[in-house]
Amino acid sequence: MLPFILQRLMQAVVVMLVISALVFVGVYAVGNPIDVMISPDVTQEIREQTIRAYGFDLPLWQQYGIFLQRLISGDFGRSFVYNMPVLDLILSRLPATLEITLTAVFGAALLGVPLGMFAGYAPNSVAARAIMGVSVLGFSVPSFWIGLILIFVFAVNLGLLPAGGRGETVMLFGVEWSFLTGNGLMHMLLPAINLALFKLALLIRLARAGTREVMLTDTVRFARAAGESEWTILRHHVLRLIAIPLVTVFGLELGSTLAFAVVTETIFSWPGVGKLIIDSISVLDRPVMVAYLMLVSLLFITINLTVDIAYAALDPRLRARKSS
């Protein structure tokens, strides 16, 4: 396993280097932040001083070299708008995004996998058809529309849940968390549900397809012939055999939800990383945009490596292949 992990780490370094160049060139080719940072009424002298202060007068390759040097040392620069280190700014918003992301993805997994397995075990039952109907709805309806409907029904009409914001927070280990207060949990519920619906539908359909396939295999026939109960067959044989694709989807969906919870955070005014990047794009805050994209790339590379290691833990054949 160690040579495999080292090989993947070297690949990750190369990928991150390529991504850093693409992200830097792509972001720095869009707009001119000086037009946003200073008033159009300032003198040309002040404008030129500002350009030199931020290094925008240097050639692009030289700006990239300075950026790469800072990046290696863990310095993502300072935000043009907030005038604070970008990494500190993102980390201050990250707990809010983590809360709704983890709640949504783990909630979708805890509900979606059992429901999908039941739909695959008894596909002709009324309950299975209802479950698949819910999954079709989760795939078909855009998340922004679902978010607006949730606000209209539960916040405006019924008045049961707040329409936006983070609510009350509690400081734990120097970080503010919403899930530790009742008011914070109420504020988390709607955005978490909005994020979870597509993941729920995806896991239901994946678990159903896997269960339907495994139930027809010799493994299940032999288990039944040995006198094992249906619950034991589902828990010990079916779930284990469908676990690898489920782990893959779970890891990728966790990463994509954490990285792209932009729509949900905007609709519910949730002060997370997604809303931060939208605000940064509107004012061309380049350091925040670049840092966000780099951290998202690092997140997906880390998740892919973790999923590969989980493969080896779940499937002994993969461990034997890697060790040979």
Q: Nearest Cα to 243, choosing from 142, 149, 318, 314?
A: 314
Contacts 24+ apart (CB under 8 A), 260-263: 261/97, 261/100, 261/101, 261/195, 263/143, 263/144, 263/147
At residue 115, the pLDDT reads: 92
Tokens of 143: 């998340």
pLDDT per position as a tens digit, 295-320: 888 877 887 777 777 666 655 555 55
DSSP 8-state class, residue 39: -
pLDDT band at 33 (very low <50, low <70, confident <90, very high): low
Q: 179 or 50, which is more confident?
A: 179
Backbone φ and ψ of 85, nearest 5°: -55, 135
Q: The pTM is what?
A: 0.75
101 vs 218, 228, 273, CA distance in Å? 39, 38, 11
pLDDT per position as a tens digit, 77-94: 788 788 888 888 888 888
Residue 57 near residue 51, CB atoms below 8 Å:
yes
CA distance 23 to 308: 26
Secondary structure (3-state) at 194: helix
At residue 71, the pLDDT reads: 80
Mean of per-residue pLDDT scores for the chain: 81
